[in-house]
Chain A
Amino acid sequence: MSLLAANLLGLVLTCGHQGLGTDVSYVHSGIFQSARIAPNAADPAYLSMLPNVVKLFEHDQPIGIAVLIDSSGLYLAPKNSINTEEEIEGHFPNGQTGHLRRLNTDSLTGLALLKSDYVPPNARPVSVIPADPNPGTLLVVMMDSGSVRGRLDSTEKIGIAKVTGRLVPLSEVRFETPTSTLSGALVFTTSGVFVGAINATLAKLPAGAADFRAQFSTKLSNQAVPVGGLGGGGAAGNGQIADSLGPADMTVAYTPGVDVLRRVVEGFLSPSHIVAYASLGVFCRNGAGGALITQVVAESPADKIGMQAGDMIVSMGLYMVRSQIDFAKIMNKARPGEQTFIRFDRGGRVYMKGVTFGRILD
C-alpha cells in the first residue's frame, strides 16, 4: 500500500512538473530525480549471467562489474568505473576474491580489458551479439547490486567523443532509473547475449520524452504494469521480467554500437590486446559539399600527401564525402594500413592522392 502511495506520489510530482512546463526533474542528468527503482538481485536473467561477471571494488567500495570474454581470465569492463591504475579487487560469484589488472583500454568506447588469474569453474565467456538487435528488444542492465529492465530504442545514433573528436556508433537504451550509480553497468539481452556497456547518459531528454513518460504514467494508472517487484527491479511478483517498462522513471543512456563493440573485443582478444583504428590525421568540420579540414596533424598520412588546413575532402575511395560526418563514417569503417585515394578541393582546384591510413592506438 505504501508502495503504491509512493508511486502515486511520484506520478503526482511528475504531472506537477509537466504542468509547470519545466524540466526540473531532469535538469542535470538523464536520470529522473523521482521514482527510482532498486536493482533486482533476484532477477532470473541477472542470476543466469551472474557466474560470468565479477564485481569490482576499490577501497572496499563497489565500482561496477566486469564480464568474462575469454576463459583465460580476460574480463571486459567500462573504464569510467575504474579510477586506479593499480590492481582492482574482484569479488567472484562463488565467494572467491582476487585481483584484476588492467591490460588495455579503448578510449573510443570507454572499455577496459582486465586480466584475472582466477576464473570460477562455472564461468563461461559471453558472446557479443552478432548483429544489431531490433529496436524494442528487451534488455537487462546489470550493475553490481542487481539489474533493471531496459529497452533498445535505436542502433543508429552517431556519437562524437568530444575530447578526441572521433565518431562512435551508439545504441540508445532506455531503462528504469536505478537507485545506484550506472558507472560500470553492462547491458545484455534477456537470454544473456552481451549488447554493450553504458558509457554515457543523456544530459537532457530529447523531444518526445514527455510522451514517453506519460506512456508509463498511463500504464501505472491503469495498473497495466505489475508493481509488486519494486525494490526487486520492477519485476512482476513472480520474479519474471515484464515485457513493458515502468513504473519507475526512465534513463536514456548509450552503449557503443555492436560493430564497434565486436571490433574492441576482437582487438582485446588478439595477442597484442590492442584495438587499432584507422587515421588520416586531420580534424575537420562541415564544409560546403565536403569535410573542411581545420587541422592537419604533423607527420600524419594527410600531412605526408600534402593536405593542408582549408582543404575540403570531397571523396575517399569510391565514396563521396558530403560532410565531416561522412568522412568520420568512412574512417570508422577503414582499417589501419588500408590504401585508398582521396580527392580534395583547394581553392577551386581538385587534387587526388593515394594515401595509406595510419592507426591510432589507445
Chain B
Amino acid sequence: MKRNSDDHLFNLAFGETSEAERAELEAKAATDPAVAAKLRELRNLKADLRSLADVPPDQLSNDRLRDAILGQGLKPKQAFDWSWVWMPALSCVLVAGLMMGIRHRQSVEPSLVGSAVVSLQTSGVPLFSGDKGGDLAANFKPSESKKRSEVQRIDPVSFRHPVSRKGGHGRSWRRRHGLSGLYADVNLGAGSGIDENDVAPGGLNTVSLPVGAADARISGLKPVDNTSATPAVVVIEPDKDKDSGTQQAREVANSKNVVIGG
C-alpha cells in the first residue's frame, strides 16, 4: 500500500498524474506532513535530474569530458607512456648478448672434450654383462631394447675446392690455417635420410667439411694440433709387480698407438 502511495507521489512530482489524482494527492499532502515531505523530496529529485540533463551530452564520458576540457583551453598532465620502451631495450640487450657470445666463442679453445656429454634422453639401455677379460665381444649380450634401424647413409651433396669469394677468406688464408683442400658439403637437413634421432636439438642443415680436417672447419677456430691430442698415458699392466704386489704401471710418452675400448 505504501509502495502504491509512493508511486502516486512519484507520478505527481514528475507531472504524470491526472488532474483528479493530482488534486487528491495534494490534499493528502496538505493534511499529512509525511506525505508532504515525501512529495518535496521527489520534487527536489526531479530538479536535480533536470540539472543533470543540462550537462552537455558530449561531456558524459571520460573521453568527451577530456575533449571538453581541452576545448576550454586546459591541458591535462601528460603521463609518460612506458609501453614502447621495452622494444628498444630488448633489442639492445640482444645485441650486447650476441657480441659477448661472439667474443667468448673466439676466446675458447675449440675442444670441449671431457667437459660433458650431451644427454638428450634415456630409454632402452643396451647391456654389457661383463668386462673381466680382453674379449669384450664375447661378454656382450644383446639388449632387450628394440632394434634400431640400419645405418642410413648421408650422401654429401657435392665436393668442391675452396674458392675465394667476396667478403670471405682467400685460398692463401685457408692454406695458412690448414683449411685448404677438398670440402664436402654435407646435407643434414630434410630429405637426407636422417631421422629425428640423428639431428641435434635445434637442427643442423648443411655443413661444409674439409675432408680430413673437419674439426678445424666445424669449430671455426684455429686448426687442430693433432700432436697434442696424443698425450702421455699410464698403461696399467695386468701382471703384478713382484716387489710391490700391485699391478705394474708403464708410462707411454705418446698414446698414438694405444688401443682404447669404449
* Chain A facing B: main interface SS: mixed
Which residues from chain A sit less than 8 Å from chain B, CB to CB? 28-31, 78, 80-81, 107-108, 110, 157-168, 170, 181-185, 198-204, 206, 251-254, 278-286, 288-289, 291, 294-295, 297-301, 304-307, 314-341, 345, 348-354, 356-362
Are B233 and A352 in contact, CB atoms less than 8 angstroms apart?
Answer: no
**Chain B contact surface mostly:** loop
Q: In whole angstroms, how far apart are the Cα atoms of A164 and B238 in the complex?
A: 10
Supply 21 A–B pairs (Cβ within 8 Å), ascending by A: A28-B242, A30-B244, A31-B244, A164-B136, A167-B262, A183-B245, A200-B247, A201-B248, A203-B248, A253-B249, A286-B257, A320-B112, A320-B218, A323-B229, A326-B229, A331-B262, A336-B125, A338-B120, A338-B122, A352-B194, A353-B152
The minimal Cβ–Cβ distance linking B60 to chain A, given in whole angstroms, is 66
Q: Compute how far the CA of A282 lies from the CA of B251 in the bound complex, rounded to whole angstroms.
A: 24
Other 18 A-B pairs with CB < 8 A, given A286-B255, A319-B112, A356-B123: A80-B240, A81-B245, A164-B131, A165-B262, A199-B236, A203-B241, A253-B244, A284-B262, A285-B260, A288-B226, A300-B128, A316-B117, A318-B112, A326-B114, A329-B114, A333-B114, A348-B212, A354-B120
Question: How many Å lie between the Cα of A291 and that of B129 in the bound state?
Answer: 25
Interchain CB contact under 8 A, A350 and B186 = yes
A315-B207 Cα distance, complex, nearest whole Å = 13
Q: Are B247 and A199 in contact (CB under 8 A)?
A: yes
Binds A, one of B40-48, B91-99, B197-205: B197-205
The closest CB in chain B to the CB of A315 belongs to: B218
CB distance from A213 to the nearest CB of B (A): 17
| B234 CB contact (under 8 Å) in A254, A282, A295, A349 | A254
The 4 residue pairs across chains A and B that have the minimum distance between CB atoms? A306-B151, A354-B197, A183-B245, A165-B261
Cα A284 to Cα B156 in complex, Å, equals: 25
Chain B residues with CB below 8 A from A288, complex form: 212, 226
Q: Which residues of A contact B154 (CB under 8 A)?
A: 349-352
Chain B residues within 8 Å of chain A by Cβ, number: 92
Interface 0/1 of B120-160, CB less than 8 Å to A: 11111111111111101100111101011011111110000
Whether, in the assembled complex, B27 has its beta carbon less than 8 Å from a beta carbon of chain A, the answer is no
Are B120 and A322 interface neighbours, CB within 8 A?
A: no
Question: Is the beta-carbon distance between A182 and B262 smaller than 8 angstroms?
Answer: no
B244 CB to nearest chain A CB (Å)? 4
